[in-house]
Amino acid sequence: MTGPRVLSARVHRSGMVFAAAVTVLGGAAWAAHHAVQAAHYGSENGSRLAAVWSVTFGLLLTQTVMYHAERTRRPSARSRRRLDALHVAVLLPVYNEDPGYLRLGLESLLAQTRLPNSVHVVDDGSTSSDYAAVRTWWTIAAAQAGIATTWVRQDNAGKRHAQAAGVLASPHADVYVTVDSDSCLAPDAIEELLLPFAKQRVQSVAGIVLATNHRTNLLTRITDLWFTVGQLTDRSALSAMGAVLVNSGPLAAYRAGVVRDNLDSYLNETFLGRPVMFSDDSLLTLYALLRGRTVQQPSAVVFTALPEKPSHFARMYMRWMRGSTIRSLWRMRYLPVTGWAYWAHLVRWFTVALSTCVLAWLLVVEPLTYGQRPPASFLLVPVLIGQAQALRYLGVIRSDERMRQRAVTWLLMPLAVVASWTVLRAMRWWGMATCARTGWGTRQNGAEVSLPIPAPAAPADTETTLQLALPAR
């Protein structure tokens, strides 16, 4: 590439996308009805399957309406002035991160339309690098931008302890913004992330996470599609109720009291007598839920590096599934039954159990017990549902990608559906069964994804541009 570029994106809301999603869901419902009618399951089994599909599509239609009801928060001018007066501290833990991605993320903080007041980088005992060059550059650049900063190195104690060191270094912060060491924020990410805090009941805000390296290979394309769609369907629907269950590590914001008042329990969480090293974002979100509303801001966008190898993805996904199991137990124990979040959590597990039972019935019980194979038309149902939800992916407009390229990725949704119903489903249940394994699982041997570091620039040139070693579109 020939010069500096800035990564940005926006989520476009469209009534046409909503209408198309409802239409495709209708096609999926028709396919399910046709399959039940065409199969010789008998009146009793056929009626049961028809009831199951009716419940499924009722839930899907409700979710579709809800995620299209999500709105970007736009406070008044007076509220914006109050938000401008807040002290915003960025917590940036580092462990065996690639220096290129780390510098990319720090450059993005310098390019913000609303600069953070302070940035606290904590190297959690990295073994692959001491980041001396990046640290020297950052210290000078942050001072020139008027950003107070600290950079400390500690013995390896885990991500939570690294974040805690940043919290202790910023005792007067009003809002903590948590990012990962490979987070590259869009230029207006922090400004947009703060807007929902104009309402006092809002305790945490999640950003939208997109992939920096989404066009590297087939795995990164499908992962970006799956992850983006999940945020813009499931989490958007929860956000409309003020009941987001999990914020994403690459970008989230919390009222300072949510973090400071729970810091001791955050650092000392245990499960079956073992310290829990992962699922930190969902625990912070749970603390926020216990105080008020948790929302997502679709206009606050961050880019992060996705796993480029199946082994790296598998370790990451298993960590997520084990953390999800532990967190589910805490939600059932601590969330009030009068809140949306409690029932949304139960509905989520109900749909997982229901879909697993239906799959087992169609593929195992019917063939072995009744000698009936499911009709081929059943295969259309999950594919059509996936394509309906994936229409939200086409609503993301990126500065580094043309729409036709995103349409090609959208067409890969059937592969994502097959992976979700087979490999990822098996991994989910294995993660539940092995949730007592509470170690992190990645980066022990160094960074697994890398980005070339651009040629050094004079500090005065780093105020508003991101030096991206990314392929030109």
Tell me the pTM.
Answer: 0.88
Residue 458 has pLDDT above 60, yes or no: no
Over pLDDT 70: what percentage of the chain?
Answer: 90
Q: What is the pLDDT of residue 45?
A: 66
Tokens for 76, please give them.
């008044």
Q: What is the pLDDT of residue 472?
A: 35
Residue from 104, 117, 94, 134 nearest 169 by CA:
117
For 23, 374, 380, 428, the CA distances from 35, given in Å and listed in that order, are 18, 8, 10, 28
Lowest mean pLDDT among 104-113, 185-194, 354-363, 456-465: 456-465
DSSP string for residues in 418-433 = HHHHTHHHHHHHHHHH
Kindly state the average pLDDT of the residues 160-169.
96
CA distance 216 to 212: 9
Q: Collect all residues with Cβ–Cβ distance below 8 Å to 261 and sequence separation of at least 6.
A: none
pLDDT classification of 444: cutoffs 50, 70, 90? low
Residue 159 has pLDDT above 80, yes or no: yes
Kindly state the average pLDDT of the residues 443-460.
55
Q: What is the pLDDT of residue 310?
A: 93
Over pLDDT 90: what percentage of the chain?
Answer: 61
pLDDT classification of 457: cutoffs 50, 70, 90? very low
Answer yes or no: are the C-beta atoms of 122 and 152 closer than 8 Å.
yes
Q: What is the pLDDT of residue 71?
A: 82
CA distance 459 to 118: 18
pLDDT in tens, 208-266: 999 999 999 999 999 999 999 999 999 999 999 999 999 999 999 999 999 999 999 99
Handedness of CA 323, 328, 331, 333 (dihedral sign): negative
pLDDT in tens, 328-383: 999 999 999 999 999 999 998 888 888 888 888 878 887 888 777 777 777 888 89
Residue 98 has pLDDT above 80, yes or no: yes
pLDDT classification of 446: cutoffs 50, 70, 90? low
Amino acid at 380: L
Q: What is the pLDDT of residue 53?
A: 81
Q: Torsion-angle region of residue 244: left (phi > 0), alpha (psi -120 to 50) or beta?
A: beta
Residue 115 has pLDDT above 90, yes or no: yes
Tokens for 372, please give them.
């009936």
Handedness of CA 323, 326, 328, 331 (dihedral sign): negative
CA distance 360 to 367: 10
Residue 460 has pLDDT above 60, yes or no: no
The conformation of residue 198, written as its DSSP 8-state character, comes to G
Lowest mean pLDDT among 65-79, 293-307, 313-327, 391-405: 65-79
pLDDT in tens, 26-82: 888 888 877 777 766 666 666 777 787 888 888 888 988 999 888 888 888 888 999
Angle at CA 62, nearest 5°, toward 60 and 64?
70
CA distance 190 to 180: 14
